[in-house]
Chain A
Amino acid sequence: MPTTQTRRSLGLALMFGAFALPAWAQTVKVEDPWVQATVAGQKATAAFMKLTADAPVKLTGGKTPVAPVVEIHEMVMDGDVMKMRAIPGGLPLEAGKTMELKPGGYHVMLIDLPKPVEVGQKVPLTLIFTDAQGKEFEVAVEAPARPLKRDHGQKSSHGM
């Protein structure tokens, strides 16, 4: 389900008929967010989604009640070797271009889970973005947890 949330300041600005200054115009549309469910004892998992920003911003972090540490990661294949790294400085989003965070690419890593994320659980996730002026703003979504075993047909998972 598409979730759009605008900075509160933008909403207020429009409400009072103020100038829609470009600096206030940042919105990031978050679509199809999901979290990979875990089994007991598994201490980390990832969230995936599609992001479309209306101005150049960076995804720089996140918050969730299910994990104390949230990092933005990239998965890369170096020959046959899988490597996963935090993206220094955040993940840049181009204005109007949808960026898909998916297996085989980028993900939001949820680390040090105190308890498992159950299939079907709605995981509250607040994404933190940084705009071109260096100001942070947040977008809150709810990401349902999907089973570890992925449905066949999610072929994007093999596309590298």
Chain B
Amino acid sequence: MTCPDLHRTFALMLLPAALLLSACEKVSSPPAFHATEIREASFGRELRLPDTEGRVRTLADFRGEVVGVYFGFLQCPDVCPTALSRAVEVKRLLGEEGKRFRIVFVTVDPERDTPEVVRAYLDAFDPSFVGLVGSPEEVARTAKEFRVYYRKVPTGSSYTMDHTATTFVYNADGKLRLAVPHTLPAEAFAADVRRLLAEAPAAPGR
């Protein structure tokens, strides 16, 4: 939205001139992102994995949407539910625009995380979230492309997975733009997504 547009909108709403000015300032010098900004990324350029329905998905499938790619596993009792619950909250905070925000969950534990279980798990958060379940080789290749660390660690009778807990955020043109740390609150995350969405207004009819 440009300043003249804002002027017209606000004038119609009979808002004080002070607010008008501050709105223009915000438009001319946008605040920094809360998350780590990425420009011309040399990683995370390609994503090609089967989803929970067996269809191969790529970044091109999500053009027009801001997408957060998260690597995790289902036996994870702590950070994964925290990250996915945060994503649900981000979507809620975005209101109507939340329809253009989507999470893509990539399991780093394909031995245990079958497509069926991943689908049921994501449905417990938001049915619009996409789950990607590759072969161990595909997962390894994808993690390497994203510079994501993951490792199987034995624990008693079972094993757990160490993994990078960053959410990688793509803009509506499919460019990697943000690395969102696990600790970033939902409000700050939502503000960043809102800004990326504003850079690419919804196409007519979307």
Contacts and interface: CB of A to CB of B under 8 A. Distances in A.
Check if A and B associate.
Answer: yes
Interface of A: 36-37, 39-46, 69, 71, 73, 75, 77-78, 80-86, 103-104, 107, 109, 111-112, 147-150, 152, 154-155, 157-158, 160
Contacts of B158: 43-44, 69, 111-112
Contacts of A157: 82, 85
B156 interface: yes
Choose among A73, A109, A148, A154 the residue with the greatest number of B CB atoms under 10 Å from its CB. Answer: A148
A18 to B, nearest CB: 39
Given A82-B78, A148-B81, A148-B124, 18 more contacts: A39-B121, A41-B116, A42-B120, A42-B121, A77-B183, A80-B149, A80-B165, A85-B153, A85-B155, A86-B155, A103-B78, A104-B79, A104-B82, A111-B157, A112-B158, A149-B84, A152-B85, A158-B86
B3 interface: no
Contacts, number: 124
B114 A41 contact: yes
A78 B164 CA distance: 9
Interface string B106-117: 000000101011
18 contacts: A37-B124, A41-B117, A44-B77, A44-B158, A46-B78, A71-B155, A77-B182, A78-B162, A83-B153, A84-B162, A85-B160, A103-B82, A111-B156, A112-B158, A147-B124, A155-B185, A157-B82, A158-B183
B140 interface: no
Contacts of A42: 74-75, 117, 120-121
A150 B78 contact: no
A152 B186 contact: yes
Interface of B: 74-79, 81-82, 84-86, 88-89, 92, 112, 114, 116-117, 120-121, 123-125, 149, 153, 155-158, 160, 162-166, 181-186
Given A45-B77, A84-B155, A158 B120 contact: no
B101 to A, nearest CB: 16
A69 B157 contact: yes
A149 B112 contact: no
Which of A41, A73, A160 has the most chain B CB atoms closer than 10 A to its own CB?
A: A41
A40 B78 contact: no
Nearest to A157: B82
B76 A84 contact: yes
B120 to A, nearest CB: 4
B192 to A, nearest CB: 15
Contacts of A80: 149, 164-166, 181-182
A10 to B, nearest CB: 31
Contacts of A85: 153, 155, 160
A154 B89 CA distance: 11
A157 to B, nearest CB: 5
Given A42-B117, A86-B155, A77 B165 contact: yes
B74 to A, nearest CB: 5
A-B CB proximity, top 5 nearest: A46-B77, A41-B117, A39-B120, A150-B85, A44-B75
B82 A158 contact: yes
Contacts of B120: 39-42
B87 to A, nearest CB: 10
